[in-house]
């Protein structure tokens, strides 16, 4: 659904803007050496990242930067799916291969399951997806129904959003709401009022991709407010610092939403470094980059912090029952600065 197909210079992101700006994403220019000491010994939890579109290099850097656990919401993979089997395989990969791949790098992988708003517009397929969704919602490590909500704000999007809110109630899982990029303010309000109409407890609902214009209403109504640090189209992290300074850390969390667009899987550690630099207290940083996300999604009963809260760094070459979990004896960490590949 790229509305900007003549623009060959940039990949439109998952949150494509109708008016892409030339805003310079300062955090992308931040080098590891510049900020590693600022985040030393911090742990991070990224509650929204699409690893299926990311590389092993990303996993390695994320682990190195202190990201210990992530949530991968089911989403639109960049082009529309044409059949149910693609959905089934995609959902399976979120609880199968991708979960395993993540574990190879010492990162605990959770996911949310849902029919994304774009593909809710394909009614024939959406009907079929709704039939298999409960099968996946009950699976281990599924911490919510998501990401669901509005994109174009069509009647079909609303229909499947409502059906999935009911599924969330039935399964007693939190909801992860994707708010639209266009007409965001109204889309956000509409998403929240429908959730309340369906009797959802706002403390079970994470409203994602907020900005300065939406955050107050989200917090005032008792929802969780998530912010996406995503170059060009979402929050820059300097703006994020200002939001935290203004609203404090309660019920606010940040994520990277890194996907197949120009995005940054290290958005959280970099934002934490920037907050530290700006003198934001460490307990505030911890809340918005770690604890709040855990508190929100642990309502699923699927998060045991013991799985990733170890004092020692996870050892990716650790053995399980005497076996390396790595395929073919791969070494999880290689020296990328070396010319030699052994």
Residues that bind other proteins (CB under 8 A): 88, 92, 95-97, 99-100, 132, 135-136, 138-141, 301, 320-329
- CA–CA dist 126, 157 (Å, integer): 10
Task: List the structure tokens of 187.
Answer: 């889309």
- CA–CA dist 50, 165 (Å, integer): 22
Task: Residue 253: name the closest of 91, 113, 70, 126 by CA.
Answer: 70
User: What are the DSSP calls for 196-239, one per residue?
Assistant: HHTT--GGGEEE-S--TTTHHHHHHTT-EEEEEB-TTTSB-HHH
Name which of 284 and 326 has its Cβ closer to other proteins.
326
Name which of 34 and 127 has its Cβ closer to other proteins.
127
Residues facing 253 on adjacent strands: 226
Count the neighbouring beta carbons within 10 Å of the beta carbon of residue 212: 14
CB of residue 342 to other proteins, shortest distance in Å: 8
Name which of 113 and 275 has its Cβ closer to other proteins.
113
CB of residue 123 to other proteins, shortest distance in Å: 23
Name which of 113 and 267 has its Cβ closer to other proteins.
113
Nearby residues of 224 by Cβ (< 8 Å), 6 or more positions away: 202, 203, 205, 206, 207, 218, 251, 252, 253, 292, 296
CB of residue 193 to other proteins, shortest distance in Å: 31
Burial class (CB in 10 A: 0-12, 13-18, 19+), 284: middle
CB of residue 317 to other proteins, shortest distance in Å: 11
Name which of 89 and 123 has its Cβ closer to other proteins.
89
CB of residue 338 to other proteins, shortest distance in Å: 16
CB of residue 168 to other proteins, shortest distance in Å: 15
Name which of 2 and 333 has its Cβ closer to other proteins.
333
């Amino acid at each position: 659904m790229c509305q900007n197909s003549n623009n060959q210079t940039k990949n439109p992101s998952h949150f494509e803007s109708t008016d892409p700006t030339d805003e310079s994403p300062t955090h992308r220019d931040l080098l590891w050496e510049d900020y590693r000491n600022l985040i030393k010994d911090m742990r991070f939890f990224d509650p929204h990242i699409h690893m299926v579109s990311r590389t092993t290099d990303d996993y390695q850097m994320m682990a190195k930067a202190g990201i210990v656990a992530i949530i991968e919401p089911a989403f639109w993979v960049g082009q529309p799916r044409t059949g149910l089997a693609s959905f089934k395989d995609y959902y399976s990969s979120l609880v199968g291969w991708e979960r395993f791949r993540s574990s190879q790098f010492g990162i605990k992988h959770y996911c949310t399951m849902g029919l994304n708003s774009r593909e809710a517009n394909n009614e024939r397929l959406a009907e079929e997806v709704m039939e298999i969704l409960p099968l996946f919602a009950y699976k281990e490590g599924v911490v919510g129904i998501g990401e669901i909500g509005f994109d174009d704000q069509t009647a079909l999007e609303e229909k499947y959003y409502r059906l999935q809110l009911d599924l969330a109630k039935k399964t007693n899982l939190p909801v992860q709401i994707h708010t639209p990029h266009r007409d965001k303010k109204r889309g956000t309000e509409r998403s929240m009022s429908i959730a309340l109409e369906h009797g959802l407890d706002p403390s079970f609902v994470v409203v994602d991709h907020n900005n300065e214009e939406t955050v107050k209403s989200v917090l005032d109504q008792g929802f969780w407010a998530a912010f996406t640090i995503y170059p060009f189209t979402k929050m820059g992290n300097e703006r994020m610092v200002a939001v935290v300074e203004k609203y404090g850390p309660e019920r606010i969390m940040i994520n990277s939403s890194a996907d197949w667009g120009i995005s940054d899987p290290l958005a959280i550690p970099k934002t934490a470094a920037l907050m530290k630099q700006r003198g934001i207290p460490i307990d505030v940083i911890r809340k918005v980059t770690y604890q709040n996300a855990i508190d929100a999604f642990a309502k699923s009963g699927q998060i045991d912090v013991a799985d990733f809260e170890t004092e020692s760094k996870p050892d990716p070459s650790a053995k399980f029952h005497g076996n390396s979990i790595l395929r073919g004896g791969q070494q999880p960490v290689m020296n990328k600065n070396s010319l030699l590949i052994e």
